Amino acid sequence: MMSKYLEINPIVANGLKNNTPVVALESTIISHGMPYPQNMETALKVEEIVRKNGAIPATIAILDGKFKVGLAADEIEHLGKSGQQIVKASRRDIPYLISQQIDGATTVASTMIAANLAGIKVFATGGIGGVHRGASTTFDISADLQELASTDVAVVCAGFKSILDLGLTLEYLETHGVSVLGYQTKELPAFYTRKSGFEVDYQLDTPAEVAGFLHTKWEMQLHGGVVIANPIPEKYQLDYDVITKTINDAIIDAEINKIKGKESTPFLLAKVKELTGGKSLDANIQLVYNNAALAARIAVAYAGG
């Protein structure tokens, strides 16, 4: 029955069958993250980095009425050229898009769902959604967090998007039993910067240690995901004070323009890009590359048992 809704690229399927390391990759960054052709070039580069570090890349999207796990180059190009015409697909959107055969770019939540259905345990992305600032009145909380609470996939990221309320995001994850691991750091990275003022739950320093953590968690039937917070390389990070002010200015602009719900994150990220003269996009690309490399090394260690 599941094959009706899930199509796994033969290379990915063969890898999973033979316990070859596989890394899931999302597609929202392609259609909504940056303009064409930079989005396509970045996506293909991320796949190349995963391969160079010993794993098989599996970029995921909803195409032709199915979850497709492991996109071909022409499918990535389709997403890149179509851009924001492609629906941004989270958990709630999946049955509608698939039943209506509407193409969708997967978010963190929906990529986790597809990866779990396919049997992929490690997923690389840029940053994770979370509790938005002002959520005490708006109740604006990303579906990514609830997915992390229930789906057995490890997510390698550069922390949570710094436009969010990081403290409340950590509290939410703690309540739902989701561990936030810092890769070679005790401080939670905040996407564009290595600093945040918050601590992760545990620091682990090697892919083998992370893989051991994942095996222990899931072998004990402690269901749910894990956040592996991997700081942006120091030479690419943005100045903490500058990016903090920039984000605050962007949030004020969003409030003035009454931007809410699922439109808030793309609006804020676009505004931050504008206010930083494109430096935030450059940083975003570099942190995704960094996360892809680490995710592949963790997948290799995990496959090795």
Nearest Cα to 130, choosing from 62, 223, 201, 227?
Answer: 227
Q: What beta strand segments (E) does 222-298 contain?
A: 226-229
Domain 2-303 sits in CATH at: 3.40.1790.10
In this prediction the pTM is 0.94
Is 161 labeled as catalytic in the residue annotation? yes
pLDDT of residue 1: 61
Inform me whether the pLDDT recorded for 60 exceeds 80. yes
Q: Which of 26, 47, 77, 147 is catalytic?
A: 26
Q: Which of 88, 161, 195, 271 is catalytic?
A: 161
- 125: how many CB neighbours lie within 10 A of its CB? 26
pLDDT of residue 135: 82
pLDDT of residue 262: 65
- Residue 156: its H or E element: strand 154-157
**Which residues, other chains included, contact 132 with Cβ-Cβ below 8 Å and sequence gap of 6+?**
138, 140, 141, 142, 163, 164, 165, 264
pLDDT of residue 249: 85
**Which residues, other chains included, contact 245 with Cβ-Cβ below 8 Å and sequence gap of 6+?**
none
Q: What are the residue ranges spanned by the domains of the chain?
A: 2-303
* Mean pLDDT score, 134-140: 81
- The string of pLDDT tens digits covering residues 158-177 is 999 778 899 999 999 999 99
End-to-end CA distance of the chain: 30
The Cα–Cα gap between 220 and 238 comes to 40
The CA dihedral of 130, 206, 55, 128, to the nearest 10 degrees, is 10
Is 274 labeled as catalytic in the residue annotation? no
Query: 60 has which bridge partners?
Result: 69
